[in-house]
Amino acid sequence: GIQVEQSPPDLILQEGANSTLRCNFSDSVNNLQWFHQNPWGQLINLFYIPSGTKQNGRLSATTVATERYSLLYISSSQTTDSGVYFCAPNNDMRFGAGTRLTVKP
Amino acid sequence: GAVVSQHPSRVICKSGTSVKIECRSLDFQATTMFWYRQFPKQSLMLMATSNEGSKATYEQGVEKDKFLINHASLTLSTLTVTSAHPEDSSFYICSARPSVTAVEAFFGQGTRLTVV
């Protein structure tokens, strides 16, 4: 299967700060999904993005398929952004280890 | 987004008994479903992938006789943990998508299984 590496593993931010999360994958992918797992365990779909850039409010994502990585940008972070962010290639839906984000008030 | 419903959300069972977890796609037909388990502070580990009407494909190291997966219809998949033991206690999550590949997958709420 496709190997997925996410960085950083942990990130602590002050409310209002911006951040970039990275997802590297070992092989070409049909598509890539970003998720946010909230404190109750629910996975929320953030982006479904094979290439290019998408934006949704304070969040945006960019996938550069030819270079096998995707970035998730969080701007003006809020405490409700806390949780774990995962990426998963759509080919086989195996997850990276995730980035645990803590946003402090 | 599409809705995937997982039931029960929490279950406690005695060691040696079996537990069934249901995963339903409520507003789309799920050609493919995925089952994961997640231990505290860890990522989701894919257990198996199932396509409707076919036998599930299990990941290496996952015992297919212990974790029985049935995907008999386009809206329902079940995971049965047979002869459960305390080490099977975990968070189990299902995912569904309307095609074998190249479309977005959606997740259920998860089931927290505790074996006592």
- CA B106/CA A55 separation, integer angstroms: 19
Residue B100 falls in which region: left (phi positive, over 0), alpha (psi -120 to 50) or beta: alpha
Mean per-residue pLDDT, B4-17: 97
Mean per-residue pLDDT, B90-108: 86
Of A45, A94, A98, the CB nearest to B104: A45
Q: Look at B110 and A95 and tell me if their CB atoms are within 8 Å.
A: no
A83: nearest CA partner in chain B: B41
- CA B57/CA B50 separation, integer angstroms: 6
- CA B55/CA A15 separation, integer angstroms: 48
Chosen from A2, A7, A33, A94 to mutate, greatest number of chain B CBs within 10 A: A94
- CA B79/CA A5 separation, integer angstroms: 28
Which residues in chain B touch residue A90, judged by CB atoms under 8 angstroms apart? 101-105
B101: nearest CA partner in chain A: A91
Q: What does the pLDDT look like over A75-105, one tens digit per residue?
A: 999 999 999 999 999 888 999 999 999 999 9
Q: Look at A30 and B101 and tell me if their CB atoms are within 8 Å.
A: yes
CA separation, residue B1 to residues A45, B34, B99 (Å) = 8, 18, 15
pLDDT at A42: 92
pLDDT at B100: 60
pLDDT at B51: 87
pLDDT above 80 for A69: yes
Confidence category of residue A28, pLDDT binned at 50, 70, 90:
confident
DSSP per-residue codes, B66-90 = TEEEEEEETTEEEEEE-S--GGG-E
Confidence category of residue B98, pLDDT binned at 50, 70, 90:
confident
Residue window 24-43, chain A: list those with CB within 8 Å of chain B.
30-31, 33, 35, 40-43
A94: nearest CA partner in chain B: B46
Q: What does the pLDDT look like over A34-44, one tens digit per residue?
A: 999 998 899 99
Mean per-residue pLDDT, A4-32: 94
- CA B84/CA B18 separation, integer angstroms: 6
Confidence category of residue B18, pLDDT binned at 50, 70, 90:
very high
A57-61, B9-13, B24-28: segment of lowest average pLDDT? B24-28
Mean per-residue pLDDT, B79-83: 97
pLDDT at B2: 84
Of A33, A95, A97, the CB nearest to B104: A33
